[in-house]
């Protein structure tokens, strides 16, 4: 009888546990405002570079570990595409599918980062990020004193998914 009550209590507790969901807003603060990166996002990206180059492991930011899936690295021509899957999370209220980073196998100035949204979130993503991206591009252009052609903003990626990109390659 006690075993059945314990099992019933465990099942009730499990059923009452809310679905894991999270906001990436604190992590991505500034990303759509002049491509400013939080310390936590910068650390995640830097550690993903080390992982991609087989020089270290991915360090997921504290408080966000449950929101990310297994990081993958795909060689594409002369660069590496790092994909950090995002689980059940949003940025500015828009669901996020993944964070991509693009680097070269050896250290270089290539530094491009993309927040990818699900295709069915296109209208919400455009409403949340189109105008922010235009304003952010003005800030990025003003900071680009080396004339590298830095870019940022909302777009539809090559696979037809809405995305927000910061490219600060040198």
- In angstroms, the CA 143 to CA 75 distance is 30
Q: How far apart are CA 21 and CA 78, in angstroms?
A: 36
Question: Residue 21: what pLDDT?
Answer: 65
Phi, psi of 26 (to 5 degrees): -65, -35
- Where b means 16+ CB within 10 Å and e means fewer, 110-123 reads bbbbbbbbeeebee
Which tokens belong to 108? Answer: 């270089």
Token digits of residue 46: 């830097």
Q: 38-73, pLDDT tens digit by residue? A: 999 999 999 999 999 999 999 999 999 999 999 999
Nearest Cα to Cα of residue 31 among 158, 161, 154, 156: 154
140 backbone dihedrals φ, ψ, rounded to 5°: -65, -45
Number of C-beta neighbours around residue 149 at 10 A: 10
The model's pLDDT over 24-37, given as tens digits with 9 standing for 90+, comes to: 999 999 999 999 99
Q: Could you give the CA distance from residue 23 to residue 15 in angstroms, rounded to a whole number?
A: 22
Q: Residue 14, exposed/middle/buried by CB under 10 A (0-12, 13-18, 19+)?
A: exposed
pLDDT tens digit string along 81-122?
Answer: 999 999 999 999 999 999 999 999 988 889 899 999 999 999
pTM of the predicted protein model? 0.86
Residue bearing tokens 């930011």: 61
The pLDDT assigned to 107 comes to 85
């Amino acid at each position: 009888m006690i075993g059945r009550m314990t099992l019933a209590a465990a099942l009730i507790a499990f059923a009452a546990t809310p679905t894991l969901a999270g906001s990436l807003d604190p992590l991505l603060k500034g990303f759509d405002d002049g491509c400013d990166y939080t310390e936590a996002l910068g650390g995640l990206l830097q550690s993903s570079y080390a992982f991609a180059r087989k020089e270290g492991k991915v360090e997921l930011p504290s408080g966000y570990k449950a929101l990310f899936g297994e990081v993958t690295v795909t060689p594409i021509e002369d660069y590496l595409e790092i994909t950090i899957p995002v689980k059940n999370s949003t940025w500015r209220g828009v669901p996020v599918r993944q964070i991509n980073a693009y680097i070269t196998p050896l250290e270089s100035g290539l530094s491009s980062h993309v927040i990818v949204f699900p295709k069915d979130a296109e209208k919400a993503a455009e409403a949340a990020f189109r105008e922010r991206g235009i304003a952010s591009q003005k800030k990025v252009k003003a900071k680009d004193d080396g004339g590298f052609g830095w870019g940022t903003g909302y777009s539809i990626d090559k696979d037809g998914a809405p995305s927000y990109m910061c490219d600060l390659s040198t």
